[in-house]
Amino acid sequence: MSALRRAAVNVAAPALLRTQARAVSVSAAAASPASAASAAPSNALRPLPGQTAHGTDNPLMGGLGVSALARPAGRQSVSGIVATVFGCSGHLGRYVVNHLGRIGSQVITPYRSIDGMNVRHLKLAGDLGQIVPIPVDIADMDSVRRAVARSNVVINLIGSRYETHHYSFDDVHAKIPYRLAQVSKAMGVERFIHVSAVGADAKSDSDLFRSKAAGEEAVKNFYPDATIIRPTVLFGPVDRFLAYYAYMAKHLAAIPMTQGGQRQVEPVFVGDVALAIMNSIADPAARGKTYELGGTKVFTEQEIIDLTAKHTVQNIRTFNMPDSVARLYGSIIGGRRDLSWLAESGLIGAPTIAALASKLSFPSVFNADMVAQKHTDLVSSRRFPGLDALGVQHPVTLEAEIERILAAHRAEPLDHFPEAEIMKRDAKDNASF
Ligand SMILES: NC(=O)c1ccc[n+]([C@@H]2O[C@H](COP(=O)([O-])OP(=O)(O)OC[C@H]3O[C@@H](n4cnc5c(N)ncnc54)[C@H](OP(=O)(O)O)[C@@H]3O)[C@@H](O)[C@H]2O)c1
């Protein structure tokens, strides 16, 4: 019995015990064909056409050693995976948890909010009791230990596009992964999947990309066989890519651009990245590998803005901003950390900076590091395997989803009821009698 399987069977939390009981009855049914026939519902869930198969027929799951427990795909089946998904409350997290839940995995969903409301929606991703929210304070080793104690897989999706007063890029992308990998290793977690980013490079001008490179190294200290996933830029229903341009267009007369809008991006659908992550858990070939996950087409930033303009039915004006000006602008609205140069200059004291930062700062909209990030194209380098190597054969295209993603940002109302014109005409005709 593999360590992963053993860990799956040894789970002890009440919610997890229910699955254990079901797993045992599944095994018993498998031992007795007659009872299996009577127990198997005639409408047993099967993978949908085009959906990756999981369960007893899937060689990947066999590779995990969970095939005796596994049933055909479905939230009520038992994949044998018990996964803790750090960063589950984010954009990618909901898709990862859903993919895990739909094959009958137990998913621990750590949250740092006071009441866990930001992970409550994830409960729907799994069968009753299979999605287990746990409060975690990342600074408290014991709480991290509790979050991974019963898991055989840990997935780290924690990340941030801007620094806050409490967390630098290095804290979020290097120190947190170090801690998660260290604790997971000590607790005997078998698989560690770490989400980094295309652009991760120890020599990058960008603090974010340097911290992402440091995070990959930190994880490999403890898990040389960790799978590193580097997405390019995610698009999806609640992304901060297309929606970012739509938001900027709504609030600014013109969007400042560096690089003349010629930076290249290869957006990838968030659901495809989540599926690739899930497939990597069970694929022995994914151990110790780095993947770069890009989409189906490379665009320039200007082309993305033009598409956003088309689908939000508005004119989006842009103007080129030199790097030096953009950096200054970014450091003024980039929050307290970006304003630290003012404190160092001795011109303004810390309390004034704190007051300025509270009034001026919009670091998620723009910050100085974003200027440095723009020097890196968000395109897979082709030096690493991509989506297809992780079983995602037909990635979703941006063109197929963009209209729905941007529907809420349209400047003009949708023509929901074209029959309104006919109704108006009919009313007029009737009135003339
Ligand atoms: N989105 C992209 O285009 C893109 C591209 C390349 C790589 N990535 C990487 O993919 C991963 C997931 O991205 P995403 O778009 O899903 O990110 P997201 O929506 O911003 O979610 C980030 C997650 O990280 C958690 N988090 C952030 N700072 C934290 C801290 N100091 N302590 C504990 N938790 C913290 C957040 O928790 P709270 O909800 O509590 O804040 C949230 O769950 C990240 O590592 C990101 O860098 C994303």
Whose alpha carbon is nearest atom 36 of ligand 1?
Answer: 87
Alpha carbon 345 to chain centroid, angstroms: 39
Nearest CA to ligand 1 atom 7: 197
pLDDT at residue 66 greater than cutoff 80: no
Residue spans of the domains in the chain: they are 3-25+47-236+268-295+380-396
Region of poorest pLDDT, from 193-197, 263-267, 355-359: 355-359
What residues contact 319, with CB distance under 8 A and at least 6 apart?
Answer: 254, 255, 256, 257
Higher per-residue pLDDT: 93 or 357: 93
- Domain covering 3-25+47-236+268-295+380-396, topology: Rossmann fold (3.40.50)
346 neighbors 260 (Cβ within 8 angstroms): no
CA–CA separation, 431 and 433 (whole Å): 5
157 lines ligand 1 (CB under 6 A): yes
91 ligand 1 Cβ < 6 A: yes
pLDDT at residue 100, as a whole number: 97
Does ligand 1 come within 6 angstroms of the Cβ of 55?
no
Quote the pLDDT of residue 329.
81
Q: Is the CB of 179 under 6 A from ligand 1?
A: no
The pLDDT of residue 330 is 83
Q: Which two tokens stand for residue 53?
A: 């198969």
Strand partners, 154: 84, 192
Give every CB contact of residue 234 below 8 A, 6+ residues apart in sequence. Answer: 91, 92, 241, 267, 268, 269, 270, 273
Q: Which two tokens stand for residue 83?
A: 């996964």
Instruction: For residue 145, report the phi and psi dihedrals to the nearest 5 degrees.
Output: -60, -45
Answer yes or no: is pLDDT of 334 > 80: no
Instruction: In whole angstroms, give the CA distance from residue 291 to residue 311.
Output: 32
User: What pLDDT, on a 0 to 100 scale, did the predictor assign at position 333?
Assistant: 78
What is the structure's pLDDT at 336?
63
Could you tell me how many residues make up the chain? 433
Distance 130 CA to ligand 1 centre (A): 23
Atom of ligand 1 nearest to the CA of 164: 31
Is there an atom of ligand 1 within 6 Å of 168 CB?
no
pLDDT of residue 200: 98
CB of 160 closer than 6 angstroms to any ligand 1 atom: yes
| Per-residue confidence (pLDDT) for residue 353, from 0 to 100 | 65
Query: CA-to-CA distance for 306 and 317, rounded, in angstroms?
Result: 10
**How much is the pTM?**
0.82
DSSP designation for 429: H
User: Are the CB atoms for 130 and 169 separated by under 8 Å?
Assistant: no
Q: What local confidence, expressed as pLDDT, does residue 426 receive?
A: 87
Q: Is the CB of 138 within 6 Å of ligand 1?
A: yes
- Residue 6 pLDDT class (50, 70, 90 cuts): very low
Q: Are 182 and 192 in contact (CB under 8 A)?
A: no
pLDDT classification of 417: cutoffs 50, 70, 90: confident
pLDDT recorded at residue 381: 94
Residue bearing the CA closest to ligand 1, atom 17:
90
The answer to which of 30-39, 75-84, 413-422 has the lowest mean pLDDT is 30-39
The answer to whether the beta carbons of residues 144 and 176 sit under 8 Å apart is no
pLDDT given at position 38: 37
What is the pLDDT, as a whole number, of residue 193?
A: 98
- Calculate how far, in angstroms, residue 160's C-alpha sits from the geometric centre of ligand 1: 5
Residue identifier of the C-alpha nearest atom 11 of ligand 1: 157
Average pLDDT rounded to a whole number, residues 240-247: 92
Give, to the nearest 10 degrees, the angle between helix 176-186 and helix 207-222.
Answer: 10
Mean pLDDT of 254-268: 92
Residue 231 Cα: closest atom of ligand 1: 6
Mean pLDDT of 162-189: 96
Residue 433 pLDDT grade (very low, low, confident, very high; cuts 50, 70, 90): low
Ligand 1 centroid distance, CA of 331 (Å)? 22
* CA–centroid distance, residue 432 to ligand 1 (Å): 62
Token code pair at residue 301: 């930033």
* Strand order across the 191-195 sheet: 131-135, 106-111, 82-86, 153-156, 191-195, 227-231, 290-293
Would you place residue 428 in the very low, low, confident or very high pLDDT band (cuts 50, 70, 90)?
confident
Question: Best of 156, 158, 172 to mutate for ligand 1, by most ligand atoms within 8 A of CB?
Answer: 158
Interaxial angle between packed helices 242-251 and 398-406, expressed in degrees from 0 to 180 and rounded to the nearest 10? 40
- At 357, give phi and psi (nearest 5°): -60, -40
Ligand 1 atom closest to 172 (CA): 31
| Most ligand 1 atoms within 8 A of CB, residue of 86, 89, 98 to mutate | 89
Position 348: which residue type? I
**Mean per-residue pLDDT over the chain, rounded:** 83
